[in-house]
Each structure stands twice: as structure tokens, then as C-alpha cells.
Chain A
Amino acid sequence: MNPVARTVLERLGLGLITLFIVSIIIFSAIAMLPGDFAKATLGQSATSETVAAFQREIGIDRPPVERYFVWVAQMLHGDFGSSFASRTGYRRSVAEIIAPRLYNTMFLAAVTALVAVPLALGLGILAALYRNGWFDRLVNAVTLTTISFPEFFVAYMLAYLVISRDTFIGSDFAQSLPHWLAASLGWALNAVPKFPTLSNVNEQTPFWDHVWKVALPAITLTLVIVAHMMRMTRAAIINMLASPYIDMARLKGMSPMVIVLRHALPNAWAPIVTVVAFNLAYLIVGVVVVEVVFVYPGIGQLMVDAVKSRDVPVVQACALIFAATYILLNLIADIISIATNPRLLHPR
């Protein structure tokens, strides 16, 4: 059997086992949380009778072990089950609830990745090329600054910038500044595009409208993830540049750009791809804060909502999707690493 195919199959098998373990952990974690769906939904208005009636209807009066295996059996039939928010004659299937949210999350992740990954690679290559020069220092300083701020802070600052575009001139702060400064700041703020601070989209939102609405969340996430990928690219390339074969290329009289792109980069892919995969996974599973700040209906918010209301089927499905995302992206990263560096197939 082809060694690459064997690795892939092995990894997929291990992935399935991981998913199984994740599902047990999530299920028992939620079972251990205080309260249940009936109590969480009724809140202050819960009386013991209404809670009992609720529990009977959604079946959480039965023992947890039984519920878990019923759920696993459903999953094996490809059915994610129904949300606890369903009522008799009004089924809300988990798949139906998750699908639009997952699409939105993927959309935001894709838009961000399309901007951030080429930007990070480009900046990383340039920084390696002009290492220790002013360009390198500047790029490092800026990206390290943006990664150091918590993402909600970056998000609020961007939203504030958009609001200030219209309100700055009338504010007390502007009045207290010298006139020329206030005027030029106002002029600069006017150059900020009027991005929407509310990214509320739905299925009817046209494609380009959707892109426009996710502008601010995408910029926020880009600022947060670029530094990591950029610095790994730079480090991996600089590491390669110390190798004897690069000296050889240099002695042949090749230009630095060609050396980096043709000789250093192909051997540096493995660590870069791993970091890129890590950040892409983050874009899918870890952006709940940004979703909340910009009111973007993504899957992160859905999961937090579901945990709060103890809607176990939805939490389970989200957790499995997140786990599967990590497993798949890491697998792809490994395959790319192996394909670009076959030595990795034969570890010593």
C-alpha cells in the first residue's frame, strides 16, 4: 500500500476514535452542569410541575446513559437528532439549525483566510528577505502589537473608528484639540469606509452584501492571526537560509528573491503549513467573541447559546463539528508536509 494512503487511513481511524471520546466528554460535562433545558428555559417562572411536563416531552427524565446511547445510535444513522427547542408537531432538527450557522462561519473563515494567509506569507517572505532591516522590524512590531491585544478590544476599536467617522467632529474631544489637528483627524477618519458594525446576515443576503457585512469581523480576525503565520514563515525561511545548499545557490550568483522562493521556501513548507492549519481551525472554532461583538450569526454563538440553555443535541453536534475540523485540518497539513518533504514518511 502507498505509504501516504496508509498514513491517511490511519489518521482517519484515530480521528474517529477521538470524535467518540470527545462526544463522551461533552455529554458528561453537560450532564454535570447544574440545571437542565427545562429549568434554563423557564428560568424564574419554573415550577416543579411545568418542569416535569417539559422534561417528559423532551425525554430528559430518562437516565443519561440511555440518552447517550440513543443519541449515538441516531448519529450512526446520519441523524443529528432534534433540538430540545422542538415541540410536538414542530420539529427543529439539529442539522437544520446548524447548517446556516456553519455556512456563515465557513464564509467568514474563508474571507479571512483569503486575505490573511497570502498577506502573512508575503510579509513573512519579505521580512526574511530583508531580515533585521527597518521593514522587518516594522512588520514585526505592528503584527506583534495586533496579536497582543485581545480580539474583542481590536473589534471594539474598529467599531469605534467607524462610529467616530461621523461623530468625531462634534465631540468634546475634537473641540478641545487645536483646530488644525481636529480638522485633519476628521479628514483622516472620513477616509475610513463606512463598514457596517452590525454583521447580521441571513439566507437571503446576496453574496457581495455578505462579503461587505463581514468586513469588520474579517479585518479583526486578520489582525489577530497574521502575526503567528508571518513569524513562522519568516523563521522557517531564515532557518533554511543557513543551510549549505543555499550558500551554494548564492555562490552560483542567484538573486536573493529567487533563492528564497525556489530554494528555501519548498523546504520550509512543513512548519508553515502546520501553523496555517492551526490558524484556520481557530477561524472556525474560536471566533465566538468576534461573532458576539459584530452580532454575526455563526456557529460559535450557537454553541454558547446552546450550552447556556442546555440544549444538549446542539452542543454535541457543534462539539463534533469542531473536533472534526481540527482533525481534518491537521491531517491536511500533515499530508502537505509529507508531500513537500517525503523524508517525513521515514522517521529515523
Chain B
Amino acid sequence: MSESEYKLGIARSLIGGGNVSRRDFIHLGLAAGLTVAAADKLFVSTARAEPMQGGFAKLGMAHGATTDSIDPAGYPDTFTQTAFSGSLSNSLTEVDAKGNVQPDLAESFESSDGAKNWAFKLRKAATFHNGKTVTADDVVTSLQYHMGKDTKSAAKSLLESVAEIKADGPETVVFTLKSGNADFPYIMSDYHLVIMPAKDGKADWASGVRTGAFVIENFQPGVSAKLKRNPNYFKNGKPYLDEVEFIAITDLAARMAALSTGEVDYIGRADLKTLGMLKRNPKVEIVEVTGYGHYTLPMNVTMAPFDNPDVRMALKWAINRQEIVDKIFLGHATVANDNPIAPAIKFAKDPQPQHSFDPEKAKHYLKKAGMENLKVDLSVADAAFAGAVDAASLIRETAAQCGIDVNVVREAEDAYWDNVWLKKPWCASYWSGRATADWMFTQAFAADSSWNESFWKNPHFNELLVQARAETDEVKRAAMYAEMQQLTHDDGGSIVLVFNNFVSAQSKKLAHGEVAPNWENDGLKMAERWWIATA
């Protein structure tokens, strides 16, 4: 290494701290034999790679309604989730970019008694925005807010497995579960389960005093929320931004326009159809992550003809998933294989064979079920997922070639989850996915779950689910989850069509590390994790 190259290396390491100007750096680069353009490029990429303090980011969210509030019993969509859970508050744990659970407000956690008892130790340095230290009592009341008969929380079913929560001294919270759950720390990362200060024995959500990286400055439901940096945040150096504004832009074209004109620095859920045009804009780049979210077509296995596993199998072979990915999601999705566990999740295994479009196999299973042809209704609306109606039309075409007449029933978008989902024998559904195999299976496939959307009650599957949850031997666990995934693939009532990508777009002004796949907007924590690269 020559002397100038050595100096260049040192200079690169100093850029992040703002100690080397672009001009000085280019001088050094020239001395090291680089061209001006190459040195400049190197400066920009290095500067963007190191987090920098300061700045104001405007983030365009795909949701937002006038009924939004900071109450964590709600948080129905990405606006409230990103602004109030991910930026204003913290849960006990969080999920990192690799999909592993990490301590957040908790400093550490450990289990005993076959993962039935969990002790979470809180961080000593953590305080609420009003300066009060976070104690175990705050954690207990915050979580109890989502439990009990009178709660209106959407997270109620999540905490159903918890028998008791109590404080053990000011810094430790002890959970007793109804049955062992090795993945319990993942559940504590849920965006509803944020920690709020206790006031008179009740969780005080209305004041907006939380622990997060940002403090509320101004919130207009359905319009915007402006938050400013919490100078006493317990994570070293974070957040990088001084101020963030979340703007509700529900109209797709308006969102794309706002990013193009630079009126916002980031938009969630970019328009796939005009993504090509956006890519041509030199100031903009696309961020795409394959998340855990997936689109399904649940069949009610308690009703004819779906009570026959061969009929289910025939339908699974009668769908051209690749065509759906290409034509409807324009490539921004991954073909799924009737297994709801995304490839990025621990213990995920791709069951064999891959279900694809094969009229011969579909006809074979139909014959096995004792039918020449079949007529079924498929109830869809784009409220289930954008593109559901188009996907159903494609399915009608391919199924017709297998002797299956799929009658696509277009349902009203309004109140779809109320009137169609869990009510019609075959419909479309969406899952944002869960961070662990157990969590996903427990909510959408377990026999006793109120969201078991296919009413599928395979005894062996349900036995395995309970066993695997409490099993602490990783190898045995992996084998059990592999078997369960094979069961949903072969026998299950849900056709898992595709895993959808989170496609967002940002100005090159913004920089970030690897983006987390667990929820949208960098695991909802973009405000805390992202920074402005001034270069």
C-alpha cells in the first residue's frame, strides 16, 4: 500500500465524523491515483455509509385516517405503526435486519422451566420523555392494558398465552405462560406492546409520554405527525435525525408525485406500475425487501367440496403462481408454496414438491376425489390485497384448463374483513406475517385460533405445534417445524399464493443500513435507524 493510499484509507474513516471536506478528500484521492470523478463517488458512498447527525426528513406514509390515535390498542396501519410505535415508543424487544430478536427496552431476557417462565431485565438508563425511569410496574400495566375482558386491543389474542405478569423488583418483569414458548421474546416485539408510564395503576397512553427516539410535537389525525428528537434516548447516538414528519398520502399517484418533486424524502408502498418512471429520476432510489407478508386464498375445510383434501390439492395445482407474480405484482413478489413461513424466517423449509401449474396433476387429484369437473365460488375484493380481483381472474383461466370452473365473486371492499373473510367458503386474505414460525402458525393455523381462516384442524399438526413451542433443542425443533410446514403444504386449507415485497422509494438524500424485513418501513423503525447523508 502506497503512502497516499494509506492516507486515503484514514481520510475515508474520518468522513463520517464530518472531519474531512469533499475538496480535501478529492485532493487525497488524486494523489492516490484516482480520477476526480472516482474520488468524488468514493466520497459520496463513504459519507452515506456512516450515520450522520441532524436534519429533517419528511416521510410519506401510505395510510392515515382521521380516526387515528396514539392509543396502542389500535395502530391499524403503517401511519400509526411507524410514527407512534416505531418512533415514539419502544417494546421490550425488537427484530433486527437479519430477523433475529434483540433486546430493546429490555436489557436481557432468559427462560426457565421449559420456556414457561420468562424474566425480562430492563435497561437501567431508559427513561420516559418526562424524565421518569422505566420500571417493571410500567411494563406490567402497559401489557395488562391489552389483556382482560374489557380491553379493546387488537393485540389481545397475542397475549392469550400469558397466565401472569408480575414485577420482581423495579428492574425485572416475570412472565408465566400457560404453556412453554421458546419464541416468547419475539412476541414482545409486537408494535402494540409498547411501554407506557403507569398512572394510578393504569397505562397512560393519552399523554403521549413514551420512551422512544422521538417526542410528539404536533399530530393531526389523518394529515400529519411531526416528531422531534429525544435528546435523552437510551440508545447511544440514536436517533440521527433531529426531526421527522410523517405525512399521510393515501393516494398512490399523489405519493409518487410528492417524491418526484422532492416534497417528501420517502414514500411507503410505491406504485409498481409506474416504478420504471420513478427509477429514471436520478435523485430517487427504490428500496425493496422480501418480507414475511403473504397473500392467501383460504378454503373452509369444513364445507364441501373443500372438506376433501384431494379437491384442495387439485386447486393447489390449478394455479399459475409465476404468472400471477409476473403479471399482477410485476415481479415484486416471490412465488409461495402453500407454506406461510417466509424463507427469511428461522426454521423455514421449502416443502416438496413445489406446487405449480400442472393441469395433469390437477385433473388427477380431481379424479381421485371422484369428480369429473368442479364448480366453486371464489370471493375476492381488493380490500384483501391490491390485485386480488385480477389474480382471481387469472386463476379462473388456468383452473378452466383443469376442468375446474372458478366463479369469481366480486365482493364489496367496504367491511370485507367483516362479511367475507371467515364467512365465505373460499376467499382472499392477507397476512403481514409474523417473525417466527410458531407465532404465524398459532395465529392462523392452530385449531383454537379465532383467525384459523381455513378452519383446518389437523390433530397431528396441532400436537406438533404445542410440542415445538416448548422444545428448547434447536435440532428437534427444526425437524418439527419442517414437518408442520409439509403438513400445511399437503393437507392445509390455505393456498399461499405469493410473498409480497415491501416496495418503497426514497430520495438519495436519505441513507440507512440493511432494511429489516419484519414489518414495513424498516421494521417500522426507519425514523430511529435512518439518517440524512448530506453528501
Contacts and interface: CB of A to CB of B under 8 A. Distances in A.
Interface size range of chain B in the complex:
35 or more
Contacts of A57: 152
Interface stretch (A46-54, A240-248, A268-276): A46-54
Interface string A299-312: 00110011011010
A295 B267 CA distance: 14
A138 B263 CA distance: 36
Interface stretch (B249-257, B331-339, B396-404): B249-257
A292 interface: yes
Contacts of A172: 280
Contact of A35 (B66, B206, B257, B418): B418
A39 B156 contact: no
A128 interface: no
Given A198-B264, A202-B224, A314 B414 contact: no
A319 to B, nearest CB: 15
A38 B74 CA distance: 11
Interface stretch (A64-72, A80-88, A116-124): A80-88
Contact of B151 (A53, A92, A97, A204): A53
Contacts of B144: none
Contacts of B450: 47-48
A202 B69 contact: no
Contacts of B417: 39, 43-44, 46
Nearest to B160: A47
Nearest to B65: A305
A171 B223 contact: no
Given A294-B254, A295-B249, A196 B222 contact: no
B69 A90 contact: yes
A190 B120 CA distance: 60
Contact of A297 (B220, B281, B430): B220
A40 interface: yes
Contacts of A41: 67, 74, 76
Contact of A87 (B71, B223, B263, B282): B71
A89 interface: yes
Contacts of B74: 41
A55 to B, nearest CB: 9
Interface in B439-472: 450-451
Contact of B76 (A43, A171, A314): A43
Interface stretch (A14-22, A155-163, A228-236, A322-330): A155-163
Interface in B126-150: 149-150
Contacts, number: 148
B248 interface: yes
B145 to A, nearest CB: 11
B292 to A, nearest CB: 15
Interface residues of A, number: 58
B227 to A, nearest CB: 14
A305 to B, nearest CB: 5
A308 B65 contact: yes
Contacts of B175: none
A92 B71 CA distance: 13
A70 B414 CA distance: 27
A292 B254 contact: yes
A46 to B, nearest CB: 7
B263 A196 contact: yes
Contact of B156 (A47, A167, A198, A306): A47
Given A41-B74, A198-B263, A305-B66, A170 B418 contact: no
B463 to A, nearest CB: 25
B261 interface: yes
Interface string B32-55: 000000000000000000000000
B154 interface: yes
Interface string B260-296: 1101100000000000000011100000000000000
A295 B247 contact: yes
B258 interface: yes
B421 interface: yes
A202 B223 contact: yes
Given A87-B69, A163-B261, A295-B254, A200 B223 contact: yes
Contacts of B248: 295
B373 interface: no
A50 B415 contact: no
Interface string A162-176: 110011001110000
A163 to B, nearest CB: 5
A53 B76 CA distance: 17
Given A34-B414, A35-B415, A305-B66, A44 B263 contact: no
Contacts of A8: none
B387 interface: no
Interface string A75-102: 0000000011101011010000100100
Contact of A45 (B149, B154, B415, B429): B154
A147 interface: no
A215 to B, nearest CB: 13
A301 B220 contact: no
Contact of B222 (A40, A159, A302): A302
B419 A35 contact: yes
A40 B218 CA distance: 26
A198 B249 contact: yes
Contacts of B282: 170
A301 B69 CA distance: 17
A292 B250 contact: yes
A167 to B, nearest CB: 6
Interface in B398-427: 412, 414-415, 417-419, 421
B161 interface: no
A73 interface: no
A100 B412 CA distance: 32
Interface string B64-93: 011111010010100000000000000000
Contacts of B412: 34
Nearest to B75: A45
Q: Please provide the 7 A-B residue pairs with the shortest distance between their CB atoms, ordered closest to farther.
A: A35-B415, A45-B154, A85-B67, A34-B415, A35-B418, A198-B263, A90-B206
Interface of A: 33-35, 38-50, 53-54, 57, 83-85, 87, 89-90, 92, 97, 100, 156, 159-160, 162-163, 166-167, 170-172, 194, 196-198, 200, 202, 204, 292-295, 297, 301-302, 305-306, 308-309, 311, 314
5 contacts: A33-B415, A162-B261, A197-B254, A198-B247, A302-B66
Interface of B: 65-69, 71, 74, 76, 149-157, 206, 218, 220-224, 247-251, 253-254, 257-258, 260-261, 263-264, 280-282, 412, 414-415, 417-419, 421, 429-430, 450-451
Given A45-B155, A202-B223, 5 more contacts: A44-B421, A47-B450, A85-B68, A194-B261, A309-B66
